Structure 1
Amino acid sequence: MRDQLAYLIASINRQLEEEMSDILKPQGVAIEHFRILTALAAADARPMRDLASAVLIDPASLTKVIDRMVVEALVFRAPDPNDRRKVLICMASKGKALYERLKILHDAQQQNLVSRLSERKADQLADILRGLMN
């Protein structure tokens, strides 16, 4: 079983998520919140369905997470100017400030991972994994 690719990928994902959760815990931030802030940093605003796909959270669960983040003033909801029936999720200024602090911690984890592999191997692995994605 330890040689199965899916098992290996899932195992390293779990390890990296646990490491990141341990890094975020002293900041009082859940990994899901960090993922959402990261996705919103890459785009000014995102519809819920797009955001759910980007952060690997099912839409029903994402709604609850966004509700908590709205209460914490990290994000806010806004009507889509192109379709008033849709709601966009936007990063609030408090969320931007938090993201900038957390990004430094995330970048350090990323650098640690790259150093464990070597930059060349990390680039190769990223290419391989992107190739596996649909």
Structure 2
Amino acid sequence: MAPKTLDDQLSYLIASANRRIETELEERLRPGGVPIEQFRILEVLSENEPCAMGEIARRSLIDPATLTKIIDRMVRDNLVYRAPDPDDRRKVLILTAAEGKALYKRLSGVSSAQEKRLAEVLAGEKAAELKTLLRELLER
């Protein structure tokens, strides 16, 4: 049986929850002057550095063309820098510059606090269950 209203559609509920969570994170990052996309890039690099542009695009959920523009800006702001891939000179790797590492260290608590709040809202066990369900959905 098809959902009766928009509020009954799983895809709508997931998109709405994502929009609310992203908006909240954007608002908390605003005082630091960092757009959410730049924060996500620094987050990806903090977990896996150096990192190829394609991997950053995939993990940060940023379109590759848009990512190039954001990385250009971040290079100008001395947050990241480009280096050739030692295994394939045609590829470029992205690394975090000292200023980018300091910025991420200063702002990483924002993301951690949000994750903690979400776990509290979902009473811990439900948060773990939701992560499992979403991973299953993404694997299909």
Does TM, normalized by the shorter one, top 0.5? yes
Q: Does 1:116 align with 2:121?
A: yes
Distance of 2:119 and 2:33 partners within structure 1: 26
Scaled by the length of structure 2, the TM-score of the pair is 0.94
The size of the alignment, in residue pairs, is 134
Q: What is the RMSD computed on CA atoms of the aligned residues?
A: 0.7
Structure 2 unpaired stretches of 5+:
1-5
Runs of 4 or more off by more than 6 Å in structure 1? none
- The alpha carbon displacement at 1:3 in A equals 1.0
Distance of 1:69 and 1:94 partners within structure 2: 10
- The alpha carbon displacement at 1:59 in A equals 0.7
1:19 corresponds to which letter in structure 2?
A: E
Distance of 1:129 and 1:12 partners within structure 2: 12
Distance of 1:47 and 1:112 partners within structure 2: 32
- The alpha carbon displacement at 1:101 in A equals 1.2
Match for residue 133 of structure 1 among 129, 132, 138:
138
Secondary structure of 1:89's aligned partner: strand
1:66 corresponds to which letter in structure 2?
A: I
Q: Does 1:67 align with 2:72?
A: yes
- The alpha carbon displacement at 1:13 in A equals 0.3
